[in-house]
Amino acid sequence: MGLFSFLTQEIAIDLGTANTIIIHNDKIVVDEPSIVAIDQKTGNLIAIGEKARQMHGKTHENIKTIRPLRDGVIADFNAAEQMIRGMIKLINNKPRLFSPSLKMVVCIPSGSTEVEVRAVRDSSEHAGGRDVFLIYEPMAASIGIGIDVESPEGTMIVDVGGGTTEIAVIALGGIVCNKSIRIAGDGFTTDIQTYMRHQHNIKIGERTAEDIKINVGSALPDLDEPPADYIVRGPNLMTAMPIEIPVSYQEIAHCLDKSISKVESAVLNVLEQTPPELYADIVNRGINLAGGGALLRGLSRRLTEKINIPFHVAEDPLHAVARGTAIALKNVDKFSFLMR
């Protein structure tokens, strides 16, 4: 950092389907839901992050809430750009004579196509990024957990995010084999909405389904420390009269079963492609679980029982990818071979 360090601002962005986290000077400065509220008439930004989330599903015709990312990739280019710009403004809320040029590292799903990679780069550049580096999520998550990604020993990471579950085997600073499936936190939320509609004849929104997942979400029907039932209120689909239903964690374990089985198959699929020497390393070291989905009760136990390799949940799974992105930003020269 030289004389002109104040002219450049370095930020690491974990641009997630569910949450966007920005790290600046080793501190998490922004940790907000990835959602924006836009005025339909003017196209101006009304709210961003948590404020926009509170409006989600409650707006009138002049306001539209948009989640710019779907399945880990940008679905609405304009909204994504406004969101990144708005979130960067949250850091620079102090008045300045000039705005510093931005150097940013952004993480992307490992299964991104060239077009999707380009969309992230363009959005970041339009939002003011001068030097934009991209890093794959499983790689960032591994660095964030504290794994030495350059060592010849193989490690496997399963990052269950909002839009995608990223599974990768990493050795010698590269991804040996990987798979990115579009079943993750958002898919679980949709499963819960569908289940409540079919099973209990009750209509619930995305936010309520999310609350059910957080309060009684489970991957196993028998937990050592079961959570209390969660009361859901909403309209009966037949009569439109209000009803109250207690939801137990066993029900949610049952309704998420199919999606979690798909995650298990994807993990097995990556293990099949893994070279035998690395496979031996993975069996010795276990598999790392990161991302918000790692917080689902009983998930690590279920995967361990199914696959016979111990699964370890990272200590702060929600921020593992963001922390790894920040470490990569600090050592751009060292990690340049990981960047795109």
What is the b/e burial string over 23-57, where b = at least 16 CB atoms within 10 angstroms of the residue's CB?
A: bbeeeeebbbbbbbbbeeeeeebbbbbeebbebbe
Report d(CA 267, CA 273) in Å as an integer: 10
CA dihedral (97, 98, 103, 105) positive or negative: positive
Please check whether residues 328 and 205 belong to one and the same domain: no
- Domain count along the chain: 3
Question: Is 146 inside any structural domain?
Answer: no
The number of residues in the chain equals: 340
Q: In this predicted structure, what is the pLDDT of residue 334?
A: 75
Residue 264 belongs to what domain range?
151-182+260-315
> Of 255, 273, 307, which closes a domain?
255
pLDDT tens readout for residues 147-203: 999 899 999 999 999 999 999 999 998 899 999 999 999 999 999 999 999 999 999
The answer to whether the beta carbons of residues 184 and 293 sit under 8 Å apart is yes
Q: In whole angstroms, what is the distance from residue 146 CA to residue 150 CA?
A: 12
Final residue belonging to a domain, choices 230, 255, 280:
255
213 and 277 in a single domain? The answer is no
Same domain, 307 and 158: yes
**Per the domain annotation, does 145 fall within a domain?**
no
Neighbouring CB atoms inside 10 A of 225's CB total: 5
Sign of CA dihedral 316, 317, 322, 324: positive
Do residues 165 and 83 share a domain? no
CATH number for the domain harbouring residue 175? 3.30.420.40
Q: CATH number for the domain including 220?
A: 3.90.640.10
Q: Could you give the angle at the alpha carbon of 337 between the alpha carbons of 332 and 340, nearest 5°?
A: 85
Instruction: Please give the Cα distance from 131 to 12 (Å, whole number).
Output: 12
At 2 the pLDDT is: 47
Whole-angstrom distance between the N-terminal and C-terminal Cα of the chain?
23
**Stretches in the chain below the pLDDT threshold 70:** 1-6, 93-99, 336-340
The two tokens of residue 229 are 């039932």
| Last residue in a domain, options 255, 278, 296 | 255
- 107 part of a folded domain: yes
